[in-house]
Chain A
Amino acid sequence: MRLPLEWLGDYVDPGLGPQELATALARSGTEVDEVETRGVPDENGNVGTFRVGRVLSVEPHPDADRLRVCSVDLGEGEPRQIVCGAPNVAAGQSVGVALPGARLPGGRPPLEAASLRGVQSNGMILSEAELELGEDTGGIMVLGDSVAPGTPLGDVVPISGATLKLELTSNRPDCAAIYGLAREVHAITGAPLAPVDDSDPDAMGEGSVEDYAGLRVEAPDLCPRYMARVFTDVVVGPSPDWLRRRLEASGMRSVSNVVDVTNYVMLLTGQPLHAFDLDRLSGPEIVVRRAGAGEPITTLDGHDRALEDWMLAICDAERPAVIAGIMGAEDVEVGPATTRVLLEAASFDGPTTLHASLALGLRSESSGRFEKGLPAELPPRAMRIASRMLVELCGARMVPGTLDVAEPIPEIAPITLRAERQRRLLGADIDASESAQILRRLGFEVEEGEGAHEVTPPFERRADVTREVDLIEEVVRVAGLDLVPAELPRLPADGRRTPLQRLRVRLAERATGLGLSETISYRFVPEADSDLLELDGDDPRRQVVRIANPVSEEMAVMRRSLLPGLLRAVAVNQRHQRRAGGLFEIGKTYEPTASGLADEPEEIAAVLFGAPGAEGWRQSPAPADVFSATGLAMALARSCRVSLAVGGGGEPYLHPVRQAQLRAGQRTVGIAGEVHPSVLRSADVDGPVAFVSLSLAALLEAAEARPEFEDVVTVPVSTRDLAVVVPETVSSAELVEASRAVPLVRAAVIFDRYVGEQVPDGHVGLAIRLTLVDPGRTLTDEEIDAAVDRVVGALADRGATLRE
């Protein structure tokens, strides 16, 4: 909504500059996006340096053909000598004059008295263009004769203007109106509010409205009120300058006097109006009905549109003439030849208007107002104001009578405002009589009582203000939020993260500490992600939450895996010539349920691509592989004291062999491995990429509550290294498990692995370090040797032979 302050000034003058007014409005709840200024700068008395002058005489300049030397009366006693270059200046004209010191629009330096080709000039006679009032018409602006010389020019023409661009909240359709904003300014500043002249003009037309048109409302549920009047002898033409300027300042285009009047009254009152060319309507009756499915209309903007059966249309005998509240049909619009006008003022259902305008992709100043819900009391006022303007500006004669079909309008019930409740909600004392005064300024009726007021909202606010708390809001926003003393409440408990929240923090810290950066992916993904992951046809992860109205096909379903999003991030980085790196994400996936809601398990997932890790002049990291993945998984899990065991995995999107299921005890916690080359190809990513995913819920269940101290300080620990050769088919995890099963062996770690000349084909050499300990005592050499022998035996059972 644009608020030209010049127009506002018709009703209220708070004596504030544009910026101050903007601040006052913003603080009280009417957000101001921008303060636009136009014309003469309105500061430091500059506007006062522009005056009306009467040209007394015009003489040729002795030294310049195109300049004239004028004597101008500015009501100062002595006339001023002013040099003027305009061809149309003439004695007897009233003109606008800028005095020395004046600052003109456009940021030019102040005007100075100067000598022009040897003749002194003590001011400047102004054109419309110089004042930013209009186009350059090739000469000075000539004013009416009745203005006394010396009158401030701003009193005669709007030489300075500011327009506030407002961002209205959805609860205040009453502020989509100049007069509604005037009331608001009145309320917050206390400046007096002038009434709008909404008296009817004399009805000088012939006959009565029923002679010209009938009215039938078939859908009163969508149209609680419809009013129409008829005007004859209308002369369609251009609007007067002041009307044109106000519309333009309000962001609307001037069309013709009749259309401009409807728009002007809409801007003033908030009630949209529509003018029909009565002679272009078929049949004698206006019918307000639901449209037929597919019923066509060609709207004013030249588009052919098909209506739907729930939309409301204003029709003549044959066809829709207006999509109610949104836009009229091209062929019934008022045009230059129009002489008889039917003027509509109506109330339409807000949601229906909104949905129709969305469905048609057609928004207008009118629909924007109707969709928020306008009161049924408003049309008569708008109708009266517009009627007078049609009579006064368009030469129209108003036909006596008004067609008016209205549902009963419910009375507005008074609301009790308890002073105690107000104090208790605000934590501030605002005097009861001040509350009453504020509410009255906002147009509410207030019956003051002991400890409570009975308050009746004006009809403009009937939808917005229905409860005591709404009144309290009105009071405090107008009284000023600064009146409420700020105080920090005392809370009954200490804030603490839950185990799940601490887990998330720890995992993220560990992951960043390991050199991975966190990414956030869109959680809606292309449906084709299931195919990207090469999931089987019956894989349950093909069941997804599908979005009915997605933003795009790339955002069609909710993700079931974090991998595709991470791969897309890898692709982004590779496109930027980034060859290696690590990314992780902590977030939900979405498993649909029968109810339509979803299970939303959370996981941490990470990718390592290229040869991630530190690269330097004496460092070169190894390419990511399954061991990068399992190692990363272990490190992440350790951050919440979970030790993971690995086993073979069966994920279709990972390398068939180089993947490992991650377990804690019997619980499956996640998966780690190399992303399948064909998945990488589909994702347009260069390998290698290693992937890890861990379930937060599973980690949390597996996490040791508190690690117990193990005495490795006072008890001596013995280590023994074994070198063995085993067939490739024996997994190292098996050997470790077998070693650890031997009493006294606390740990068995594989610290080297080799293949090659010294090892037979199909075999690998492994080096295993055993740690032996018996808590509470020192082991003897004999005990250690016996235990190692048992380990060797256990390994031999699995095909391992000791190397010399």
Chain B
Amino acid sequence: MTNEHQLEELRAAALTDIAGAASLDDLERARVAHAGRKSAIAEILSGIGSLPKEQRGPVGKGANAVRAAIDAAIEERQGAIEAEELGSRLATDPTDVTLPGDAHPLGALHPITQVQRELEEILLGLGYRIADGPETPEIEDDFHNFDALNTPAGHPARSSSDTLYVEGHPGIALRPQTSPAQIRVMEREDPPVYVIHTGAVYRKDDVDATHSPMFHQIEGLAIDDGLTLGHLKGTLLHIARELVGDRESWFQAHFFPFTEPSIELYVEWTDRHGRQTSMELLGAGMVDPNVLRAVGYDPERYTGFAFGAGVDRLAMVRFGIPDLRLLYEGDLRVLEQFA
């Protein structure tokens, strides 16, 4: 006679064995014992047909419930044991994770390009466009290099000890500054003009730690109705803040042939030896009326400003590079530091 009590005992015994199974083998043994074909519960279920009709329902129902509970417990226990076994197998993995990871080649933009890009981003953000490519040649004539920039014949900058000239073509030279790009742009466009240009420039300098016959400048030009020295100051301070953060800064009056008045922006700087010093960040000024006249702008109507900086020097200061020559040797020991 199968009663409720008996079923409950079967269930309790099965669950105890299942819970106590420490391995999949233990669990299999428990399964055979408690849910196998020869288990008590299987026998009860197969014997239901021989029971009196009125007992078949209650006994079948009870036995099936016990059988389901045992199956569920086995499944759950199996999951737990498998997880444990996986965990302990992984935990004993002998891998030394401190070995180097797979190497990926890391290329770097040149420090000059990095500073150039940063300056470009700052000025693009202000709404300037970039002039470059064929509209800003590096081999230039006297007019764009000097005349239009208020640097008359006889000026020392025009001498062959300062500027590199093209053989067989007097007056054609490698541009000694990026400013001829200003003239090129103004010749082509009417105000308002808001443009920057970065690129290589050339001087007759011997190569040493701080001089190079080829170096890079950035140049900005703004011509519009009503631009003032105050606007120039605001623009330079914005560039400085974006470039070097909030630092003590000040303006000094200066002289450039193509701007009047001319100014320079200095910032406080801590050099690579930790010394407190100052750095000339940008040279600038209000575009000289002679320059505006040279490109056919009316200086009574339009005013504007120009600014510029030596990109190599900024890169040297920013990255603490002690010798300008390091920028032009292609030495991967140097370049890959900036990846």
Contacts and interface: CB of A to CB of B under 8 A. Distances in A.
Interface in A725-780: none
Contact of A29 (B105, B125, B234, B253): B253
Contacts of A358: 159, 161
A583 B164 contact: no
B264 to A, nearest CB: 9
Contacts of B206: 551
Contacts of A546: 166-168
A781 interface: no
Nearest to B303: A425
B29 interface: no
A475 to B, nearest CB: 9
Given A426-B228, A512-B108, A520-B327, A619 B164 contact: no
A555 B99 CA distance: 47
A485 B234 CA distance: 8
A551 B212 CA distance: 10
Contact of B328 (A29, A470, A511, A521): A521
B134 interface: yes
B65 interface: no
B272 interface: no
B112 to A, nearest CB: 6
B331 A576 contact: yes
Contacts of B238: 488
Contacts of A424: 226, 228, 303
Residue from A514, A520, A558, A566 whose CB has the most chain B CB atoms within 10 Å? A520
A517 B132 contact: no
Contact of B255 (A169, A517, A520, A613): A169
Interface residues of A, number: 100
Given A492-B127, A493-B194, A524-B213, A371 B172 contact: no
A573 B330 contact: yes
Interface stretch (B3-11, B39-47, B136-144): B136-144
Most chain B Cβ neighbours within 10 Å, of A487, A497, A596: A596
Contacts of A512: 106-109, 339
B243 interface: no
B150 to A, nearest CB: 11
Nearest to B112: A520
Interface string A573-616: 10010100111100110100001111010100000000011111
A501 B100 contact: no
A558 B137 CA distance: 13
Contacts of B89: none
B128 A491 contact: yes
A43 interface: no
A522 interface: yes
A496 B165 CA distance: 34
A549 interface: yes
A189 to B, nearest CB: 15
A171 B261 CA distance: 12
Contacts of A355: 159
Given A169-B254, A489-B224, A566-B330, A518 B335 contact: yes
B124 interface: yes
A616 B230 contact: no
A159 interface: no
Interface in B230-255: 230-231, 233-235, 237-238, 250-255
A469 interface: yes
Interface in A155-193: 169-172
Contacts of A26: 252
Given A29-B255, A619-B102, A581 B332 contact: yes
A428 interface: yes
Given A473-B260, A495-B124, A27 B250 contact: yes
B330 A470 contact: no
A523 interface: yes
A657 interface: no
Contacts of B110: 517-520
B275 interface: no
A511 B133 CA distance: 20
Contacts of A619: 102-103
Contacts of A170: 156, 255
Contacts of B19: none
A612 B105 contact: yes
A568 interface: yes
Contacts of B137: 597-598, 600
A472 B259 CA distance: 12
Contacts of B126: 488, 491, 495
Contact of A171 (B117, B251, B255, B286): B255
A350 B155 CA distance: 9
B289 interface: yes
A515 B140 CA distance: 36
A36 B162 CA distance: 30
A477 B285 CA distance: 12
A476 interface: yes
A572 interface: yes
Interface in B273-303: 286, 288-289, 303
Interface in B208-239: 213-214, 222, 224, 226-231, 233-235, 237-238
B165 A549 contact: yes
Given A515-B106, A520-B112, A524-B164, 9 more contacts: A28-B252, A481-B229, A484-B228, A497-B130, A517-B336, A523-B214, A581-B332, A588-B138, A600-B134
30 contacts: A27-B252, A27-B253, A172-B255, A350-B154, A354-B154, A427-B228, A469-B260, A470-B260, A473-B261, A477-B261, A486-B230, A492-B127, A492-B194, A495-B124, A495-B128, A505-B117, A515-B106, A521-B328, A523-B138, A549-B160, A551-B204, A573-B331, A581-B332, A584-B107, A588-B138, A600-B139, A614-B102, A616-B100, A616-B103, A619-B103
- Closest 8 interchain pairs by CB? A515-B105, A569-B330, A427-B228, A596-B169, A427-B230, A491-B127, A29-B253, A495-B124
